[in-house]
Chain A
Amino acid sequence: MPVELWLYFILTVMIVGSIACLEIKNILSSIITIGIVGLALSLAFLFLGAPDLALVQFVFEILCVIILIRAFAKRSVKLTALKRDIPETVIAVVILAGIFVLSIFALKELPSFGKPIVSVAERYLTKAGMETGSQNIVTSIILNYRVYDTLGELTVLFTAILGSMTILRKIGRKKRDAK
């Protein structure tokens, strides 16, 4: 089977899964459904020639599901009884359909699937092995050519973790000093 057919199948699964994830009432089922969407994305990366990304997506999706279940399912959060606002939903759907129609014109201008404009990457593909000594070119880009980008990524991750620790701690600093 060609790659396109697999991708149509996987994307259909992802779209149906995300609609189900947004419409299911039970919160645990909703979180597990987004896990399915993420694992389908990992499969799509595998078909598109990105095995590193597939591995990373797999691991981080499972971590994400664990975090969300730990945060919400155990606390027995009651989903608020949602009355559906019919006019708001209709307006949102109409506007999004308009954006979709406009996007057809925009996406037409892109090079068609399977024939990209590879100009920057040509240098990486031909010279990365010689210049960095790494067999995996993605690794040589992350850790050699664009290492400041990776440093920024780690800074963002560190800040996010620091932020969540600060938000979640039970006792503030002043209270602890007073004891």
Chain B
Amino acid sequence: MILYLMCFFLFLVGLYGAITKRDLIKIILAIGIMGYSVNLFLILIAYRSGALAPILEKGLEFSMVDPLPQALVLTSIVIELGITALLAALAIRIYEKYDTLDITKIRRLKG
């Protein structure tokens, strides 16, 4: 329970950054933090106390952790890298056009 709460607090820290920061780089980093906390939350829910990693071995009859969230989080980590790269590319282009990364100054609509 306390672990879940701390994990959710990490999500809220990321959300705080994404809401209040005016710098595009900080917003990209905040989105990354939110992704970390969601991944960690899924794995925390799947954990079974005293269990081993889900790798089969002959003669071992221990309980194993839930492998399904691990497979899905593996997908999610890879996608997060792609999103970060895309956001960084967009931020570089915006900086070339506007000479600033302050989101309150990026107002022109014309290219």
Contact = CB atoms under 8 A, between A and B. Distances in A.
Contacts of A137: 54-56, 64, 67
B101 to A, nearest CB: 6
**Interface size range of chain B in the complex:** 35 or more
Nearest to B14: A18
* Interface of chain B, main secondary structure: helix
Interface string B78-103: 11111111101111110100001110
Interface in A115-137: 115-116, 118, 120-121, 124-125, 128-129, 135-137
A18 B17 CA distance: 9
Contacts of A108: 1
Given A18-B13, A31-B29, A80-B100, 9 more contacts: A15-B6, A18-B14, A22-B30, A53-B70, A60-B77, A72-B91, A75-B95, A85-B20, A116-B66
Interface of B: 1-10, 12-17, 19-23, 25-26, 28-30, 32-33, 36, 39-40, 43-57, 64-68, 70-75, 77-86, 88-93, 95, 100-102, 105
A135 B67 CA distance: 12
Interface of A: 3-4, 7-8, 11-12, 14-15, 18-19, 21-22, 27, 30-31, 34, 37-38, 41, 44-45, 48-53, 56-57, 60, 63-64, 67-68, 71-72, 75, 77, 79-80, 82, 85, 88-89, 92-93, 96, 99-100, 103-104, 107-108, 110-116, 118, 120-121, 124-125, 128-129, 135-138, 141-142, 146, 149-150, 153, 156-157, 159-161, 163-164, 167-168
